[in-house]
Structure 1
Amino acid sequence: MSFDAAPVTVQVRDRNLQILGVVDDFTSLTITPRFNAVGAFVLNISADSPKADLLLPGNGLIIRRGSGVLMSGPIREPNWQRSDSDGGTGSLTVNGVDDLTLLAGATCWPNPTSAPGSQTNSVYKISGVAAETAMRALVNLNIGPGAQAARKISNLTLAADGGHGAAVTKQVNQFDKLLDVLQDIAKTAGLGFRIVQVGSNLQFQVYEPADLSASAKFSFGLGNLTDASYSVTAPTCTKAVVVAGGSSSPRVVSVTTRADPNFPGPWIEQFVDLTSVDTASTDLTAQMTQAANEALTSGAAQGNLTVTPIDTPRLQFGRDYTVGDQVSCQVRDDFFTDVVREVNITFDAQGGYVAKAVIGSSDSTNNQDALARMYQYFARIVTRLRRVETRKPS
């Protein structure tokens, strides 16, 4: 690289999150941070390296670039291999995931602070609190400082509550996956969340992604893009049929539509099950609205842009933008603005690296606005093509 990019540093931690050493002789390192989803890493090292003995299950990695943490998480699968042409003791490949995996392995209990024999409720209810507050409460009561002793992760803390996001009113079904529930809330509220090591603790953080579309731009003309591909898939839900009650209370049905002008045709109905909700509840309308919005957002049409960016002195991943941020990328004649969903980055032993970003998808934050921008662009392309098709020869 022709400029002074921040180097990557790989630290090894033990099960108590204490630093054991630095791996400075790896042959390659690939990390894939993902927005509101569990990321992963793969590290390759010579098996006869003195650092190889540190790379054991139960330990973990903290991967830094400059002063920032790109990823932290536990080692899952060390794999050793050797061939007769190695001339040594072989190579060691270490696979792992980021610390968000703690959420993927937990469920939401209806009475989270009570013992297993005291789970008397059928749902956990969230009533009219900011999305961030609701997300923090779910983590806190199920696996955080406020959880019962048998479920508490002792070194997990929560960042301060910033009160981000609109008010949420919903019921969480008993033993739903914690990560899935947080993803639903965050997607509708336009928020991001992560778990990362801070000092000697892990910290759950909720944040509002940055809109960097004016400063973080990628194009072939700017020299920071090597390839790009773009695709669109049709919606799977344009009409949410929400059904509440029906067993112990009278059934109530609401229908919410969200038309997509770029995909005309029959409505695509989806049943949304709220039959566990008592229709006498004073917040019934808010719960049904929340459920409809989540179904329509998840089932909206999807755009997917995959690009291979190149770091330049003015624009570098991890310093100027990261997953969850909104950036701009030139697709054909126009700039397209959406969220960086994930980035696959491979570092080599010489300090070089290649980054491949995926921008925009159904998992993007602020999905409805992003899709609106995407289809404005998509509609322009369709309009141009129709003009070509209908143009009469002179």
Structure 2
Amino acid sequence: MTLEEPFVTVQVRDDRLSIVGVVDDFTSLTLTPRFNAVGAYVLSIAADSPKAAMLIPGNGLVIRRGSTVLMSGPIREPNWESGDGGTGKLTVNGVDDMALLAGTTCWPNPTAAASSQTDPVYKISGVAAETAMRSLVNLNIGPGAHSARKITNLTLATDGGNGPSITKQLTQFDSLLTVLQDIAKTAGLGFRIVQVGGYLQFQVYEPADLSGTAKFSFGLGNLADASYSVTAPTCTKAIVVAGGNTSARVVTVVTRADPAFPGPWIEQFVDKTDVDSAGVDAASQAAQAADEALTAGAAQGSLSMTPTDTPLLQFGRDYSVGDQVSCQVRDGFITDVIREVSISFDAQSGYVAKATVGSTDATDNKDAIARQYAYIRAIFNRLRRLETRKPS
């Protein structure tokens, strides 16, 4: 649905994050914020616009709706194409500032130079999930990083100590984004990097449960379409092997059966042979590794919905990525997470936002919520009962 008040402001920043201008004559804009992942944007403008000269690599965009920053990030790819007798159209592609995390690895000794990376692993021991996430960013690219890796304009929001205590050992040079995603998934947290003033800020937050107030249904006119599917589990028994190199091999077996899929278990080997099995936290690391494998391999209920903004319920004002909302599936409502939002703005249709609730990316189906799967399973059970009734 088109909204009467777009509230979209596109600011241009330079490589020092200073705002150098505003693009108010673009012909179209599409941006896709994603929950705990790298978002993207595409902006088109007449090539002969005076503002087009600002849209160069090295600069970036800060895109706001009212006072809310929907996305900030660098310009990556400017593209020009000719027009009918005119100077043509300039289209710039960019990513949000979460790309900093995707382009960073976790060093075994983050504060040391590359030539001094002699530690075999980096270990997180018994700290809150948010604290661990902040520490990883701080030591690898933040204020506490080695001078050669430090991003000088990156700051960290205050540590709220959210999430459970975790004990985790990282593989050498793991992707920082992937490690943060793994921690956030099990802890139920969100994270992002966004421009605040003249700095970039890494933020960890607890997504809001708006399921009681943010409701999407066909009857309310704010749900365009919906579909669901169920996939069988790929792991119901985790075989975690620790040690075996410099310490004794210890095997831990954790089973998590799924009553909806009776039958033989599905074993999965979890390699933790780099963990010292004699260490005081070996059992905690094995338990966490088993939990991650069983969670990733659980049966999935993949729900794809396309809610649409209305004057009463709007993205960026009433809900955001990561928040839990209620969506209609057949004759009931389920609660799930806003995974991403596709926002477009042009002169013809104005501002339009469509949110994806649940996971639709085949590479990301493991993010489906357990109660979502349970609800879909209940639907199937009702259908089976209907099919077994004899006609009157």
TM-score with structure 1 setting the length: 0.94
- Is 1:353 the counterpart of 2:385? The answer is no
How far 1:265 moved relative to its partner?
A: 3.3
User: What is the aligned partner in structure 1 of residue 253 from structure 2?
Assistant: 255
Q: CA–CA distance in 2 between the matches of 1:65 and 1:351?
A: 17
Q: What do residues 271-291 of structure 1 show as CA deviations (whole Å, max 9, x unaligned)? A: 211100111101111111111
Supply the AA of the counterpart residue of 2:231.
Answer: T
Q: CA–CA distance in 1 between the matches of 2:103 and 2:3?
A: 41
Unaligned runs of 5+ in 1: none
Compared with structure 1, are the counterparts of its residues 206 and 2 closer, same or farther at alpha carbon in structure 2 (3 Å cutoff)?
A: closer
Q: Matches of residues 39-54 of structure 1 in structure 2 within 5 Å?
A: 39-54=39-54
User: What is the aligned partner in structure 2 of residue 102 from structure 1?
Assistant: 100
Q: Matches of residues 163-202 of structure 1 in structure 2 within 5 Å?
A: 163-202=161-200
Q: CA–CA distance in 1 between the matches of 2:162 and 2:250?
A: 31
Q: CA–CA distance in 2 between the matches of 1:303 and 1:326?
A: 16
How far 1:105 moved relative to its partner?
A: 0.5
Q: CA–CA distance in 2 between the matches of 1:323 and 1:311?
A: 14
Q: What do residues 189-219 of structure 1 show as CA deviations (whole Å, max 9, x unaligned)? A: 0000000000000000000000000000000
Q: For the Cα contact (< 8 Å) 1:242–1:255, is it kept in 2? A: yes
Q: Which moved more, 1:210-219 or 1:304-313?
A: 304-313
Supply the AA of the counterpart residue of 1:310.
Answer: T
User: What is the aligned partner in structure 2 of residue 35 from structure 1?
Assistant: 35
- Is 1:11 the counterpart of 2:15? The answer is no
SS of residue in 2 equivalent to 1:117: helix
Compared with structure 1, are the counterparts of its residues 369 and 141 closer, same or farther at alpha carbon in structure 2 (3 Å cutoff)?
A: closer
Supply the AA of the counterpart residue of 1:361.
Answer: S
Counterpart pick for 1:305 among 303, 306, 309: 303
TM-score with structure 2 setting the length: 0.95
Q: Which moved more, 1:67-76 or 1:289-298?
A: 289-298
Unaligned runs of 5+ in 2: none
Q: CA–CA distance in 1 between the matches of 2:350 and 2:228?
A: 27
Give the superposed CA RMSD.
Answer: 1.9
Q: For the Cα contact (< 8 Å) 1:337–1:370, is it kept in 2? A: no
Q: For the Cα contact (< 8 Å) 2:302–2:373, is it kept in 1? A: no
**Percent identity for Structure 1 against Structure 2:** 76
Q: For the Cα contact (< 8 Å) 1:242–1:272, is it kept in 2? A: yes
Q: CA–CA distance in 2 between the matches of 1:121 and 1:252?
A: 23
Compared with structure 1, are the counterparts of its residues 183 and 369 closer, same or farther at alpha carbon in structure 2 (3 Å cutoff)?
A: closer
- Is 1:376 the counterpart of 2:343? The answer is no
SS of residue in 1 equivalent to 2:50: coil
Q: Which moved more, 1:156-165 or 1:311-320?
A: 311-320
- Is 1:116 the counterpart of 2:114? The answer is yes
How far 1:224 moved relative to its partner?
A: 1.2
SS of residue in 2 equivalent to 1:51: helix
Q: What do residues 313-359 of structure 1 show as CA deviations (whole Å, max 9, x unaligned)? A: 22110000010000011011110111011111111135713322221
Supply the AA of the counterpart residue of 2:107.
Answer: W
